[in-house]
């Protein structure tokens, strides 16, 4: 019998109940939203068509996020707290936010934007961008937010693929003490794509002189002036009508545009917001992500507002002006819950615990973390060393496609205790399997590919304009089975906990043993000198592949042969003698996506002396050159030996 069963039979009963009566379960969950008309059917799927949830139901995400609270008498409660690294702060109540959103909704209408039209938002985390998102959704238009750190090509391809009619931008975004200009990137992007774009609206945040293209560009003020009488009207949306398009964080050149709809997505983020994050109206909630990612959509904007909480939207670097900034913000706002990513935890870890101890963190009730595996050493450091177990640090897994968390802990820590390094167990209504590429179902503790056996309300039901691609890439990847292919390597242990090992195409095969790159990185992190590590495989005639590691050291540690030896030993003692590290290169930074994920395919290209392919989503282009230089130096050293 599994441990989950032993610890709490209630959990087992709940899982079985949802499995036996999924439609009754989802009908109950859907009551979390306000519906103007109820659905006549909970779920329908005639493959290869799209599946649909809550058919015929009518609602609106913006109504649920704003009007509902104002009508319920909470107009005076704080809704949006904007803060940036320059120390600027703005607080909007629900009533104020609603007023602003209505103004922008009127302006969009005035510009001729209609239900189903797409608008692209290429703006930093800012009140205006968030209001625009809500205003678009209010009138049934579809927003496409593109991360404001992306370059012209990435912006152009997303505008083009979504057929956006308007593009919104601002002069700059604030990052590490600099004003990073955006408008020039927009001008370049407009030469590369975005044929359907009629007007570009520019928010001038700094009062700078912005070159405007006659007839195409307009100021934010002129845009707002397009709105006629302020109106309470919002558009009733059938549950399966899209609210927004969000591209996957993407390693492929052609972005995959997931589509999230008013009904199913709304229900899913409300349910997971409750089960997993215990989001409540009196929360001061801070998701440290960016509105350019799905986390920003679901847990900076929609879920916290739909719950009636105060949500913090922070623009800038977490460690600017100094490493103490993060903790100080928690103290200043009395933050009760944080959603962050392992890359941020590892960054904090590299500064040591002191900056975190300088502020009062007593308001905090939980920290939740997703985006990459939360390696056990990083978890231990935050949970035990910094927080002394006063606040749980909780890992959970999901994807842009899934809208909200899929693997996590919806039952509470007393029922499903944390196993450091695991994202815990499937959410209610989620059935998982571990398979190989031939479609064989694997046993407990065997590593394979994680698949999801059924759709659930948060899961994208198509890719914008490419439904065949959606079916092909996700539902037809595993032969003989109609299951959703996550692309992640994982195993499920005897207790039903899921352990992620990295992307399936990043698993390394050493002498017939399949080793997840993440497992090796986690082993390296057990050594006190290591701040971050990225591992990839290099072909080897004898072993099939050997492991090649790129390591960033914490301040105060210097590269040396002794240290290399100690790191090899750390991996060996964690993973056994199979996990032989071929070589270790020391670097100052790893190639990462703008959302903080280590780009192991770039490391692989470096060691194979190949072109890294599409790197439009990379954080620092210099990281590729650095990795290449480190690798060349290593090779030269070897041939000289």
String of b and e for 215-227 (b: at least 16 CB within 10 Å)? eebbebeebbebb
Helices H / strands E in the chain, number of each? 22, 31
How far is the C-alpha of 351 from the C-alpha of 531, rounded, in Å? Answer: 9
Query: Among residues 100 and 495, whose Cβ is nearest to ligand AMP?
Result: 495
**Please, are residues 158 and 146 in contact by the beta-carbon 8 Å criterion?**
yes
SS3 state at 275: helix
288/399 with CB nearer ligand AMP: 399
Which range in 162-170, 460-468, 483-491, 547-555 contacts ligand AMP by CB under 6 A?
483-491
Which of residues 131 and 370 has its CB atom nearest to ligand AMP in the complex?
A: 370
Whether the Cβ atoms of residue 263 and residue 57 lie closer than 8 Å to each other: yes
Of 400 and 461, nearer to ligand AMP (C-beta) is: 400
Nearest-10 Cα torsion for 563, 568, 569, 571 = 130
Q: Is 371 in the site for ligand AMP (CB under 6 A)?
A: yes
The residue whose Cβ lies closest to ligand AMP is: 249
500 makes contact with ligand AMP (CB under 6 A): yes
Nearer to ligand AMP, 293 or 631 (CB): 293
Q: Which stretch binds ligand AMP (CB under 6 A): 271-279, 357-365, 371-379, 629-637?
A: 371-379
Nearer CB in complex with ligand AMP: 284/406: 406
- Nearest in space to 2 (alpha carbons), one of 342, 495, 436: 495
| Interacting residue with ligand AMP among 128, 171, 319, 372 (CB under 6 A) | 372
- Number of residues in the chain: 641
Both structure tokens of 185: 């990137």
- Comparing CB distances to ligand AMP, the nearer of 261 and 553 is 261
Q: CB neighbours (10 Å) of residue 334?
A: 12
Min separation Cβ 342 and ligand AMP, Å: 8
- Residue 433 or residue 487: which is nearer to ligand AMP going by CB? 487
Q: Return the range that interacts with ligand AMP (CB under 6 A); candidates 105-113, 177-185, 328-336, 367-375.
A: 367-375
Q: Kindly state whether residue 373 participates in binding ligand AMP, applying the rule CB under 6 A.
A: yes
- Binding residue for ligand AMP, selected from 67, 241, 319, 488, defined by CB under 6 A: 488
Of these, 271, 289, 383, 399, which contacts ligand AMP (CB under 6 A)?
Answer: 399
Neighbours of 476 (CB within 10 A): 16
248 binds ligand AMP (CB under 6 A): yes
Q: How far apart are CA 174 and CA 84, in angstroms?
A: 8
* Cα–Cα distance for residue pair 597/584, rounded to 1 Å: 20
Task: Assess 448 for contact with ligand AMP (CB under 6 A).
Answer: no
The two tokens of residue 622 are 């210099």
Most distant CA pair in the chain, distance = 78
Does 423 sit near ligand AMP (CB under 6 A)?
yes
When binding is defined by CB under 6 A, the residue of 64, 93, 169, 249 that contacts ligand AMP is: 249
| Tokens standing for residue 310 | 């105060």
The footprint of ligand AMP (CB under 6 A) covers 248-249, 294, 370-373, 395-400, 423, 486-488, 500, 503, 595
């Amino acid at each position: 019998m599994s441990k989950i069963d032993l610890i709490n039979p209630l959990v087992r009963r709940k899982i079985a109940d949802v499995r036996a009566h999924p439609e009754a379960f989802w009908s109950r969950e859907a009551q979390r939203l306000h519906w103007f008309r109820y659905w006549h059917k909970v779920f329908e799927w005639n493959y290869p068509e799209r599946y649909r949830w809550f058919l015929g139901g009518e609602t609106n995400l913006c109504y649920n996020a704003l009007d509902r609270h104002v009508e319920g008498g909470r107009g005076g409660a704080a809704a949006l707290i904007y803060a940036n690294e320059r120390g600027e702060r703005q607080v909007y109540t629900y009533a104020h936010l609603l007023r602003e959103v209505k103004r922008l909704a009127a302006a969009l209408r005035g510009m001729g934007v209609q239900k189903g039209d797409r608008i692209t938002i290429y703006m930093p985390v800012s009140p205006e961008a968030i209001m625009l998102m809500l205003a678009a959704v209010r009138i049934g238009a579809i927003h496409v937010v593109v991360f404001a750190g992306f370059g012209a090509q990435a912006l152009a391809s997303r505008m083009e693929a979504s057929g956006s009619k308007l593009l919104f931008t601002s002069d700059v975004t604030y990052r590490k003490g600099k004003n990073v200009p955006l408008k020039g990137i927009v001008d370049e992007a407009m030469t590369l794509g975005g044929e359907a774009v009629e007007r570009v609206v520019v928010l001038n945040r700094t009062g700078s002189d912005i070159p405007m293209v006659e007839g195409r560009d307009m100021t934010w003020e002129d845009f707002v002036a397009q709105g006629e009488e302020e109106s309470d009207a919002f558009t009733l949306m059938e549950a399966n009508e899209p609210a927004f398009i969000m591209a996957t964080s993407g390693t492929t050149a052609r972005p995959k545009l997931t589509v999230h709809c008013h009904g199913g997505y709304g229900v899913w983020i409300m349910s997971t917001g409750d089960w997993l994050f215990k989001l409540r109206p009196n929360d001061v909630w801070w998701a440290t992500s960016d509105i350019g990612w799905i986390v920003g959509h679901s847990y900076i904007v929609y879920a916290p507002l739909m719950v009636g909480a105060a949500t913090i939207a922070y623009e800038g670097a977490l460690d600017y002006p100094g490493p103490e900034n993060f903790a100080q913000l928690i103290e200043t706002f009395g933050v009760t819950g944080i959603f962050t990513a392992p890359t941020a935890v590892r960054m904090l870890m590299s500064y040591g615990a002191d900056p975190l101890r300088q502020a009062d963190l007593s308001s905090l009730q939980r920290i939740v973390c997703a985006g990459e595996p939360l390696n056990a050493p990083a978890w231990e450091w935050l949970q035990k060393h910094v927080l002394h177990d006063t606040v749980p640090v909780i890992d959970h897994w999901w994807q842009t496609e899934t809208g909200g968390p899929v693997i996590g802990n919806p039952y509470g820590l007393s029922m499903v205790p944390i196993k450091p390094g695991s994202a815990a167990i499937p959410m209610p209504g989620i059935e998982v399997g571990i398979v190989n590429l031939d479609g064989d179902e694997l046993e407990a503790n065997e590593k394979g590919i994680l698949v999801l056996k059924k759709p659930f309300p948060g899961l994208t039901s198509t890719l914008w304009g490419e439904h065949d691609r959606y079916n092909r890439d996700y539902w037809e990847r595993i032969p003989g089975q109609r299951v959703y292919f996550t692309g992640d390597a994982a195993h499920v242990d005897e207790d039903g906990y899921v352990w992620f090992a990295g992307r399936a195409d990043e698993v390394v095969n050493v002498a017939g043993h399949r080793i997840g790159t993440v497992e090796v990185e986690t082993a390296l992190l057990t050594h006190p000198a290591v701040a971050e590590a990225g591992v990839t495989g290099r072909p080897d005639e004898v072993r099939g592949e050997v492991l090649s590691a790129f390591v960033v050291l914490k301040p105060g540690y210097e590269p040396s042969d002794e240290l290399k030896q100690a790191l090899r030993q750390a991996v060996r003692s964690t993973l056994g003698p199979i996990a032989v590290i071929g070589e270790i290169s020391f670097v100052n930074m790893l190639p990462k996506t703008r959302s903080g994920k280590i780009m192991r395919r770039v490391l692989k290209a470096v060691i194979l002396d190949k072109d890294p392919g599409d790197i439009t989503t990379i954080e620092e282009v210099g990281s590729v050159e650095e990795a290449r230089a480190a690798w060349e130096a290593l090779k030269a050293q070897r041939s000289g030996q």
